[in-house]
Amino acid sequence: MLAESLVLAGLIFVIGTLGVIVRRNAVIMFLCIELQLNAVNLTFVAFSRYVGIEGQVFVFFVMAVAAAEAAVGLAIIISIFRHYETVNVDSFTRLKW
């Protein structure tokens, strides 16, 4: 089941990457980053089944960091929305040359 899990994780990671690149909605882009993190977690768990429990410990830390990242990132999105009244990333042009 290891090879199948790795293929599945690769597929989910690629779909998440595509989502980050093609979508403009900041919340959806963020959701696609979570999708990528989830694919990496799946890889860790698949390998830890055969190598040892440390992979699962690492997934635990990845989940904790993902939770912290989601809280801070969504706070930034709220803060930007208050300023621009939109979450479309093409509208955020203040730092663009």
Taking CB under 8 A as the rule, does residue 40 contact another protein? Answer: no
Contact 1, 61 (CB under 8 A): no
State the number of binding residues for another protein (CB under 8 A).
68
What is the three-class DSSP state of 92? coil
Contact call for residue 60 and another protein (CB under 8 A):
yes
User: Taking CB under 8 A as the rule, does residue 91 contact another protein?
Assistant: no
Question: CA of 66: how far to CAs of 4, 30, 37, 50, in Å?
Answer: 25, 11, 8, 25
31 near another protein (CB under 8 A) = yes
Nearer to another protein, 26 or 97 (CB): 26
Residues 6+ apart with CB under 8 A from 37: 62, 66
8 Å CB contact between 29 and 23: yes
Does position 17 bind another protein by CB under 8 A? Answer: yes
Q: Which residues in this chain contact another protein in the complex, by CB under 8 A? A: 1-8, 10-19, 21-25, 27-28, 30-32, 34-35, 38, 41-42, 45-54, 56-57, 59-61, 63-72, 74-79, 81-82, 87-88
